Chains A and B, each alone.
Chain A
Amino acid sequence: MPDLKTKSPNAVYTDHCKAGELAYQVDLDTGKAVFYPRIIAPGSGSARLEWRVSKGLGTVYATTAIANRNAPSHNVVLVDLDEGFRIMSRVEEIDAMDVRIGMRVQVRMAPGEGDQPPYPVFTVVGAAA
């Protein structure tokens, strides 16, 4: 198990984000993908967590469009990555109300606000660039 005095699981994850990569962990005892980053695996309690980089392809599992008083609505989605983990995100370059469950999406990194790190967002696979 890595120690928590040198580097946190979230810091490893953030370093990947800065490199343009969506990282996740795999529980080597069960083979299950793990997200968000942890120091031991949920369910098994295993300390044998290995970092992997996702291909970044996934499917919209659930979606909502949040109304804003003085701006267009914005979407929030849950995306199931092909490697078997789910994350909250948003789909960009599409009207919030046009996001559909089942859409295939591809990850990219969005710049964080202020001094926050980059974070993963998605675009629709096959959409015009």
Chain B
Amino acid sequence: MKRGSVAVVGAAESDLGQVAPGTTPVDLMAQATFRALEDCGLHLSDIDAVFTAASQLRMPTLSLCEYLGIRPRYQDGTGIGGSSFMTHLAHAMAAIEAGLCEVALIAYGSTQRSVSRAAASPREYNPHETPYKPFLPATAYALAASRHMHEFGTTREQLAEVAVAARQWALLNPMAWEKEPLTIAQVLAARMVSYPLTVRDCCLVNDGGGAIILTSAARAKTLRQKPAFVLGVGECLSHMSISSMPDLTTTGAAISGAQAYAMAGLTPKDVQAVQVYDAFSINTILFLEDLGFVKKGEGGAFVANGGIAPGGHLPVNTSGGGLSYCHPGMYGLLVLIEAVRQVRGTCGARQVPGCDVAIAHGNGGVLSSQVTVLLGSAATV
């Protein structure tokens, strides 16, 4: 695929947090779709490709197309957890380049807060894991954290720094769920979930959704917003169950990131705003390492002393992340939306000055699927 051949032209959240009784995941997708179309000035009838994933829908592209009353010529319902939407973006880029479609909608919605996490995302029975009663997904990430602490001396305080930084960014984001400051001591003293992770090391459980619209670079330049050009993409699937993950301290982001940088012709030093899927505090440390922002094993020290908080040495998860902004089951599409807004320069109080390149990294399952997207402003193409 060719660097910069397509761009994200429309991006919007649905209502976030807690929605009214009876709201469906597809209501949220449709609301976000309406807002994303309004954002870019395109019409529903312009959409000729639909991409979506949702744990509450068995055949999500069918549900969404029926609801919207459209019959797109291309669709893809790939479901690999929270990174599904980064994969959708990569597949949409390929489809647009191949002439299979021209305007692609990627949408997501979840009512997991309203219906309960257990009802929204029922887990498969695994005869080699389920008898031990792991509290998934938290236990899988806790196991990875235990290994990172053992190998590199990472501390619970350093994990807590990730949650505190996310909270500080969230306080700059009017859309964020969390509205109160958070301290390291509060993270450590919070209810333990799966050691070493307390409830404050774990993502929120919210309702919510979003939508983005992609089209060719040529068409993007005729639309309402500054395009966020797709500079690079990379995907890596490494396992389904945590007991089959080859090395708990190195994720597939090392592979997906390298692919994305190679396609973009960029290095980590070129990235001004970093959005990584922080389902748990350990994620941010793992992905900062695997995406090359810091050496393996040094992520704990990197995030310490407000390193990734506002005013730190690298702006990470500027929306407030899954930890403090919104986590509606699969958070990847919201990661992309924040990266698009940073490249547009429309993030208000949390805007990274002069942001021309943003990375949006998606994680799915239990560190299972890793998909990296690099977005750039007009200055980068």
Contacts and interface: CB of A to CB of B under 8 A. Distances in A.
Q: Do A and B bind each other?
A: yes
Interface of A: 10, 35-36, 61-67, 73-74, 76-78, 86-90, 96-97, 101-102, 112-113, 116, 119
Given A74-B133, A78-B242, A87-B243, A64 B142 contact: yes
B180 to A, nearest CB: 23
Contacts of A74: 133
Given A62-B146, A64-B142, A76-B139, A97 B195 contact: yes
B143 A62 contact: yes
Contacts, number: 76
A65 B128 CA distance: 18
A36 B147 contact: no
Interface string B14-34: 000000000000000000000
A88 B147 contact: no
A76 B133 contact: yes
Contacts of A36: 127-128, 244
Contacts of B127: 10, 36, 119
Interface of B: 127-129, 131-135, 139, 142-147, 150, 191-196, 241-244, 248
Q: Which secondary structure dominates chain A's binding surface?
A: strand
22 contacts: A10-B127, A36-B127, A62-B146, A62-B150, A64-B145, A64-B146, A65-B194, A66-B135, A67-B195, A73-B195, A76-B132, A76-B143, A76-B194, A78-B242, A78-B243, A87-B243, A88-B128, A88-B241, A101-B146, A116-B131, A119-B127, A119-B131
Contacts of A112: 131
Contacts of B242: 78, 88
Nearest to B141: A64
B146 A88 contact: no
Most chain A beta carbons < 10 A, residue from B145, B195, B242:
B195
B146 A67 contact: no
A66 B134 contact: yes
A107 B142 CA distance: 23
